[in-house]
Structure 1
Amino acid sequence: MSDDWKERLLIRELVENWAVWRDAGDWERFRTVWHDDGRMMATWFQGTADEFIKVSREGFEKGVSILHFLGGMGIDIAENRAIAQTKMTINQRASVDGVICDVVCTGRFYDFLEKRQGRWGVVLRQPIYEKDRIDPVDPSQAPALDRQRLESFPIGYRHLAYLQSGLGFKVKPDMPGLTGPLVEDLYRRGRAWLEGKPLEMALRPPE
């Protein structure tokens, strides 16, 4: 097996472990997929990996139900850096206007990765939210959604945002979707990362 394929397998294992260990509440092993300066961006949370683990653990222990399913993956490697894009769905179950519902959001995990001291780790995870839907768990019921509030959220994750904001979360209103300037800027930042630029420079808005 070539060295390139070995690195790709290691990265794939890392991304898959993120979903398995996070959803299982295996917090000690979940911490190992991150570098110490790792950061997480999500609709309901933006901050350090340690902060994300803390709030995820608190939610898990309170019964918050968020599950992740992974699909195909594309990986670009430049020496000790990589960008991994992984097809995914986020499934969150909660009460929506008094009705237990599942929200399924489809998109991609866009991961900034780096190999340090022989170990790959996540430096930044930025999901891309492409489309979502809401389904009542009991099909004989349906939540009476507030159409104006629903349509105030971006189309790629508006049902997820509706559910999460109803639970009291402050939802970030400008996450990248399938198309548009936000996702184009994310791709630009990914290219800068692979070119060896500091993460701060890769995150800088275009001039």
Structure 2
Amino acid sequence: MDDTDDIVEIAQLIQKWGLYRDQGRWDDLKATFTPDGTIFVTWFLGWFADFVEASKKMHVPKSPRVKHLIGLPVVDVQGHRAVAETNVQILGRFSAAGTDVDYTSYARFVDRLVRTKAGWRIHARVAIYEKDRLDPVVPSDAFANFMTQTDFSKVPEPYRYLGYRLLSAGRPLQSGIICDGTPEADTLIQKAHRWMSQMTCAD
């Protein structure tokens, strides 16, 4: 069976998620997930509806603000279920040592999707974190001193600077965050594909 139409629809849905999240289009964002959908990222684990409400509180109405660069997903479709892995870059800006700095986090979204009467929707999303970096908007001695004098070691390397930013803003990190190349990441993907092939969702 040709799954091309389904793959294109799913890819568009995942792109919409990034646009709606960054632009604060909350009703459109809610519609990318099923009503009982869940999401697990560095700062949030729980129902997607609650994620949307939490996102509203931190949303900045104009740039510079957090931006998600969403890649083209790799999609596997079986009947009314699908699994997608999508490369993503999370970009943000904050002030450190009196200077503006940009962080870039490289990750993958692992999505479980279901076909509904309204079309494909995300049922569960978990982010796998790969690496990140921190750069000054304008290089300065203050930034260089900040990097050498700050202890970042409390945050695992794959999301070190993103994690530092969240903690410095008073937002605690979730436990069990998934990092690339770990047994937990492999298990996550294996369970997603088993779920896709099942008639009922056991996980």
TM-score by length of 2: 0.89
Q: Is the 8 A contact 1:39 1:46 kept in 2?
A: yes
Q: 2:94–2:102: 8 Å Cα contact kept in structure 1?
A: yes
CA distance, structure 1, for counterparts of residue 187 and residue 181 of structure 2: 11
1:92-122 deviations in Å (ceiling 9; x for gaps): 2112354321110112111111112252111
**Distance apart, 1:173 and its partner CA:** 4.2
Q: Could you tell me how far apart the structure 2 residues matched to 1:43 and 1:54 are?
A: 16
Indicate conservation of the 8 Å contact 2:11/2:72, yes or no. Answer: no
Structure 2 distance, partners of 1:198, 1:103, is 40
Q: Is the 1:100–1:136 contact (alpha carbons within 8 Å) kept by the matching residues of 2? A: yes
Provide the identity percentage.
28
Following TM superposition, the consecutive aligned residue runs of length 4 or more in structure 1 with deviations greater than 4 angstroms are 61-64, 145-149
> What's the counterpart of residue 37 of structure 2?
38
Report how many aligned residue pairs link the two structures.
Answer: 200
Residues 62 and 10 of structure 1: CA distance in aligned 2, closer, same or farther (over 3 Å)? closer
Structure 1 residues 198 and 172, CA gap change in structure 2 (3 angstroms): farther
Shift of 1:89: 0.3
Distance 1:180 1:41, change over 3 A: same
Query: Superposition pairs for residues 12-91 of structure 1, below 5 Å?
Result: 12-61=11-60, 65-91=65-91
Question: Per the alignment, in what secondary structure is the counterpart of residue 194 of structure 2?
Answer: helix
SS at match of 2:193: helix
**Aligned counterparts of 1:153 and 1:56: Cα–Cα separation in 2:** 22
Instruction: Tell me how far apart the structure 2 counterparts of residues 98 and 181 of structure 1 sit (CA, whole Å).
Output: 40
The two structures, once aligned, show a CA RMSD in angstroms of 2.1
Give unpaired runs (5+ residues) of structure 1: 203-207
**1:159, CA displacement in angstroms?**
0.9
Contact map agreement 2:152 2:161 (CA 8 A) in 1? yes
Structure 1 counterpart of 2:160, one-letter code:
R
Partner residue, 1:205: none
Whole-angstrom distance in 2 between the partners of 1:76 and 1:45: 26
Aligned equivalents of 1:95, 1:112: Cα separation in 2: 36
Matched, 1:6 2:5: yes
Is the 2:78–2:196 Cα contact (8 Å) retained in structure 1? yes
2:171 to 156, 169, 193: 169
Q: Distance in 2 between matches of 1:110 and 1:96?
A: 32
Whole-Å separation in 2 of the counterparts to 1:171 and 1:130: 16
| Structure 1 residues 159 and 28, CA gap change in structure 2 (3 angstroms) | same
Instruction: State the Cα distance separating 1:172 from its structure 2 match.
Output: 2.1
> Any residues of structure 2 matched to 1:172-183 within 5 Å, and which?
172-183=174-185
Tell me if the contact between 2:129 and 2:159 (Cα under 8 Å) persists in the aligned partners: yes
Query: In 1, distance between residues paired with 2:129 and 2:28?
Result: 26
Question: Given the two structures, how large is their TM-score scaled by the length of structure 1?
Answer: 0.88
Greater alpha carbon shift after TM alignment, 88-97 vs 17-26: 88-97
